A = this chain, B = another copy of it.
Amino acid sequence: MKALDPWGSEKIEEYEEIVRKFGLQTFNAELFPSPNRLMRRGLIFAGRDLQVISECIKEKKEYYALTGIMPSGDKLHLGSKMVVEQLKYFQEHGAKTFILVADLEAASTRGVSLEDARRRAKEFHIPAYLALGLDPKKTTFYFQSENREVMRLGYEFAKHITLNEFRAIYGSADPGRIMAAVTQCGDMLFPQLEKTMPGIIPVGIDQDPHVRLCRDVVSRMKSKYGFVPISSVYHKFMPSLDGSMKMSKSAPGSMIELPEDPVSACKKLKNALSGGRNTLEEHRRLGGIPEKDMVFELLRTHLIEDDKELARIHDEYSSGAMLTGELKALGCELMTTFMNDFTQKLEKARKQVDKLHWLS
């Protein structure tokens, strides 16, 4: 198995192998009081130093949770939704919450100006994160390009990393990636400049190399800063609707965007990979296969909160009582409700942006 690639787009199936190979900790929902939907259903599957964060929650010690917004484009994907839901969980369980806007990275990658990147973040990405449930009063925002201490840490870390180490972690090394990686490490740790404390980064498993590099740097510079190594928690990827890869903008017909017109989303669900049988007779006799069905996957990951309700649908579908068309109709109905609700909240959140707590 090769190195994880934070910049790649392949589907990752061997989650257990990843846990083993990269020395991750398997996620145990019992560590966390009132686990959320993603935690309960195994969609959160691994992490690093999770017991440290568990202890902070249970003993009401200070800690922080941090994630970044890449302000390119004018849509989110469902992976971002999972990150926000994790962040929300930690925010509701005592974490100081930070969201950085990676304006430098966006401007350099996507060919937009820095001003455009920042405007997009304020007009769309930040309101969208709020619409997904973050408490604006309890969240601190900053632009990467304005955070001098992050830049300073990035510079300093760069001097303590070798090319070979970078290559061992990322599988390759080039100047652009190095610069992005050390800056991200600065982001992950800068809240500890004020006070050393544990922190957790909720993120897709493909981002583990950044966490690993950063933990290496922390241990190397322990005597100078005394930083607590960063904890992380990883979600699995949403598969694309045809089941062939991880959901990605490179196959727009196979992904649901946020926001997306419900009519368009429902059309995509209709064409999604189904766990149904070839004929009605066969389906009634053998039952559908929820585990292969991308609409069921959407219900499980995003659209149905109640575990019992999800279990009921699982059983009805796998027994053959529920037909593929019925499952898709349910998916379409719930997706429509979700999208309409999201759009409403987004409008409301846009009015709050000027009142947010920005790091000065």
**A-to-B contact residues, CB < 8 Å:** 103-105, 107-109, 111, 114, 145-146, 148-149, 151-152, 154-156, 158-163, 166, 173-176, 178-180, 182, 224
Contacts and interface: CB of A to CB of B under 8 A. Distances in A.
Contacts of A175: 158-159, 161-163, 166, 178, 182
A154 B114 CA distance: 13
A284 to B, nearest CB: 55
Copies in the complex: 2
B114 A156 contact: no
Given A105-B155, A148-B145, A173 B163 contact: yes
A114 B149 contact: yes
A151 B182 contact: no
A161 B180 CA distance: 14
B179 A114 contact: no
A176 B159 contact: yes
Contacts of A114: 148-149, 152
A75 to B, nearest CB: 23
Contacts of A109: 159
Contacts of A149: 114
14 contacts: A105-B155, A107-B155, A108-B155, A108-B158, A114-B148, A145-B151, A146-B148, A158-B176, A163-B174, A166-B175, A175-B178, A175-B182, A178-B179, A179-B182
Contacts of A162: 174-175
A314 to B, nearest CB: 45
Contacts of A111: 224
A84 B221 CA distance: 36
Contacts of A178: 158, 175, 178-179
A165 to B, nearest CB: 9
A44 B105 CA distance: 39
Which 5 pairs between the two chains have the least Cβ-Cβ distance? A159-B176, A108-B155, A108-B156, A158-B175, A145-B148
A134 B177 CA distance: 39
Nearest to A162: B174
A176 B166 CA distance: 12
Given A107-B152, A179-B182, 4 more contacts: A107-B155, A114-B152, A159-B175, A163-B173
In this complex, which of A108, A109, A151 has the most chain B Cβ atoms within 10 angstroms of its Cβ?
A151
A237 to B, nearest CB: 25
Nearest to A150: B145
Contacts of A160: 176
Nearest to A114: B152
Contacts of A146: 148
A161 B175 CA distance: 6
Contacts of A103: 152
Contacts of A148: 104, 114, 145-146
B158 A179 contact: yes
A224 B176 CA distance: 18
A107 B156 contact: yes
Contacts of A108: 152, 155-156, 158-159
A355 to B, nearest CB: 24
A104 B152 CA distance: 5
Contacts of A155: 104-105, 107-108, 176, 179-180
A309 to B, nearest CB: 46
Contacts of A174: 161-163
Contacts of A166: 175
